[in-house]
Amino acid sequence: MLTQALIQQDLRDLAAAQAEHEQMLLGLPNVVGVALGTKFTQGRDTGTKCVLVLVDMKLDKQLLGKDDLIPARIGQVPTDVVEIGVVQAGAGPALTTPSPAELVEMLAWDSQHHPAGEDMTLTPVQRDHVTAWARAARAHAGLPATGAGPMSAARLRPAVGDLSIGHYRGTAGTLGICCTDAPAIAVGGMNGRTPTMMMPAQSRRFYVLSNNHVLANCNDAAIGDPILQPAPADGGTHHSDTLARLARFVPIKFGTDRTTMPINMVDAAIAETRFDQVDRRVHWIGEPRHTNPAPMIGQALQASGRASHYSTSRVVAVNATVIVHYPGGRTARFAKQILSPAMTTAGDSGALGLDTERRPVGLLFAHSPRVSVFNPVPLIEQMLGICITDPGIESTNRPSATR
């Protein structure tokens, strides 16, 4: 079974305990998820494998009733309570424009070199950082883009992973990677749910991969809709920047009760494009190798996204069930997810997370101030009928790139 293959052998007994008690744990106050990881004591990793109970905010035990306390063990398995904040996908809350003083602090400048009232001269690198932050803030707030931006927000052909992309009526996310049809897939109907025909290997087409909420507007899109690169929030227009057309997406199922809402596995979509318009590389990382289906706790991760650019972190939890908040006050429950300490921000949705051997691990789709959340790549490949890593298809687009 594919979902079993996503978990390392030494965690499968814990996974059974997690499955048995998950509904009970999700019913407790402030609990927003359950996962597998290692126990921390006084900020240090003990290495003891346990069931992680994820809360939006830790509360003093005196504020909770006896029946609301998270048990120290479930059966023979220890638990650990981890505060992760509110997990969000999509645009998220609006950001305010930082003051010059905040920009100085954000860029870690020494204030004694820039006394109050002194005109501050930015180096090119510092200017790029400020511009990237400002553009991400404007996209976050749903405001139009202004001025020139960094490479990830520019128009680039062939398009590569990390670039700005989005539905023509959306804001902006990240192009994760370019991919092809799997060797033989059942191609679905208008929403990708009802198989209608088999597509053989020789009929492969080429796609860009990102999230449903980036390419399909949280289910509010039609097959064939234009996908822009750069995205609308970065100045992309339907007439000059259409890179692809929405081809398939996995519908997101929303709900209200944490314990009974439907379970989602992925927030993912693909849009069809021409072979000469895309390249399989991920900016600053390179071409991916074979998929890593079952990442280990502590394994290093790297990603390249539209807002955060290149970032690194590590896997801290697997097999995570987590409640995710979407625009419009909607919530959805996702299972089998991968968590890392926060390495991304709004605008990075759709970025591909890879290990240090360039093996795809997961597709970023949500984040909080403390964690980033990834869909496992094998589930995305299966549910969309695509192949992300395929040594039989090599890109020939590397020699030239045009903006």
Question: From CA 151, how far away is CA 234, in angstroms rounded?
Answer: 11
pLDDT of residue 187: 52
Closest Cα partner for 325 from 92, 17, 10? 92
Contact indicator for 53, 31 with CB cutoff of 8 Å: yes
**Pairwise CA distance, residues 281 & 151, whole Å:** 15
Residues facing residue 374 across a β-bridge: 338, 364
Lowest-pLDDT range, 93-97, 177-181, 340-344?
93-97
Q: Is the peptide bond between 98 and the residue preceding it cis, with omega within 30 degrees of 0?
A: no
Query: CA-based angle 226:231:235, to the nearest 5?
Result: 115
Q: Are 354 and 393 in contact (CB under 8 A)?
A: no
Considering only residues 171 and 183, tell me which one the structure prediction assigns the higher pLDDT.
Answer: 171
Tell me the pTM.
0.81
Whether 288 contacts 358, CB under 8 Å:
yes
Residue 374's nearest CA partner among 288, 282, 271, 305 is 305
Q: Which of 7, 78, 82 is nearest to 341 (CA)?
A: 82
**For residue 390, is pLDDT > 50?**
yes
Concatenating the DSSP letter of every residue in 123-179 gives PHHHHHHHHHHHHHHHHHTTPPP-S---GGGS--BSEEET-EEEETTS--EE--EEE
Which among 46, 45, 51 has a CA at the least distance from the CA of 78? 51
pLDDT of residue 130: 56
pLDDT at 114 over 50: no
Determine the pLDDT at residue 346: 87
Cα 115 to Cα 101, 127, 262: the distances in Å are: 10, 19, 56
For Cα atoms 46, 52, 53, give the angle at the middle one, nearest 5 degrees.
135
Place of tokens 């992760």: 84
pLDDT tens digits for 321-343?
A: 999 999 999 999 999 999 999 99
- List, for residues 120-132, the tens digit of each pLDDT value: 455 555 555 555 5
